[in-house]
């Protein structure tokens, strides 16, 4: 049930409404870590309120509700962050394609791997540019923007996929039958 923990983690940076949290999932966290839409977020915030992990400050225009972490919520977040299971939930279409590349004809496999390498090179450059811009704005002593550390991982991740695709292309080019 990681949506709950994603919400706890976002609220650890300060109070937010369901609408704010929905916007947050449109950024990097939704693209790289965990997806969620408002229709799932609102009911989950309701359950978390019942469970005493968050409280509502009912005060805002248009019926806006602002949620704040409770001590129990912060404790639960810390527990989840530090005690991770050996087998974490993983669902990744890109890695699935990596497993299944050996089910394609050599020409198709080559096309897939070349496409992946190009895509990752482009995404890596784009993310590098965003992170460089963040760093340029950043004054020493200020807190890092949310997701700055994870962004650095994103760059390394794209480089890993790109390097892997090139390594795989070399194995294909060497005439090694991959299936």
Partner DNA sequence: CTATCCATGTAAAGGGTTACATGATTAA
Partner DNA sequence: TTAATCATGTAACCCTTTACATGGATAG
Residues that bind DNA (CB under 7 A): 1-3, 17-20, 22, 35-40, 42-43, 45-46, 60-65, 89, 91
Binder of a second copy out of 4, 9, 53, 117 (CB under 8 A): 9
Helix (H) or strand (E) holding 65: strand 65-69
Give the Cα-Cα-Cα angle 91, 31, 135 (nearest 5 degrees).
130
* Residue 61 touches which member of DNA, a second copy, none, C-beta under 5-8 Å by kind: DNA
* Residue 75 touches which member of a second copy, DNA, none, C-beta under 5-8 Å by kind: none
**Would you count residue 141 as binding a second copy (CB under 8 A)?**
yes
Beta strand 65-69 with 54-58 is antiparallel
Q: How far is the CB of 63 from a second copy (least distance, A)?
A: 27
**Would you count residue 40 as binding a second copy (CB under 8 A)?**
no
66 has which bridge partners?
Answer: 17, 57
What number of chain residues touch a second copy (CB under 8 A)?
67
CA separation for the pair 115, 118 (Å, rounded): 5
Minimum CB distance to DNA smaller for 54 or for 165: 54
CA separation for the pair 91, 160 (Å, rounded): 18
CA separation for the pair 7, 69 (Å, rounded): 10
CB atoms within 10 A of CB 8: 21
Tokens of 54: 């968050």
65 has which bridge partners?
Answer: 58
Q: How far is the CB of 61 from a second copy (least distance, A)?
A: 28
Stretch that binds a second copy, among 15-23, 37-45, 53-61, 94-102 (CB under 8 A): 94-102
For residues 128 and 158, the answer to whether their CB atoms sit within 8 Å is no
The contact set with a second copy (CB under 8 A) reads 2, 5-6, 9-10, 12-13, 28-29, 31-35, 77-78, 81-82, 84, 87-104, 108, 111-112, 115, 140-144, 146-150, 152-153, 156-157, 159-161, 163-164, 167-168, 171, 176-179
């Amino acid at each position: 049930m990681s949506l709950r923990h994603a919400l706890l983690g976002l609220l650890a940076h300060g109070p937010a409404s369901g609408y704010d949290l929905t916007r947050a999932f449109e950024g990097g966290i939704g693209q790289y870590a965990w997806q969620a839409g408002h229709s799932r977020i609102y009911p989950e915030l309701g359950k978390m309120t019942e469970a005493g992990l968050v409280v509502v400050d009912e005060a805002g225009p248009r019926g806006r509700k602002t949620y704040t972490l409770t001590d129990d919520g912060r404790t639960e977040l810390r527990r989840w962050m530090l005690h991770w299971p050996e087998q974490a939930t993983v669902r990744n279409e890109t890695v699935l394609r990596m497993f299944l590349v050996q089910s394609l004809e050599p020409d198709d496999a080559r096309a897939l791997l070349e496409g992946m390498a190009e895509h990752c090179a482009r995404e890596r450059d784009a993310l590098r540019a965003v992170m460089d811009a963040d760093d340029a704005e950043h004054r020493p002593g200020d807190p890092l923007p949310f997701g700055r550390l994870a962004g650095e991982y994103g760059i390394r991740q794209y480089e890993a996929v790109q390097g892997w695709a090139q390594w795989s292309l070399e194995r294909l080019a060497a005439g090694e039958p991959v299936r």
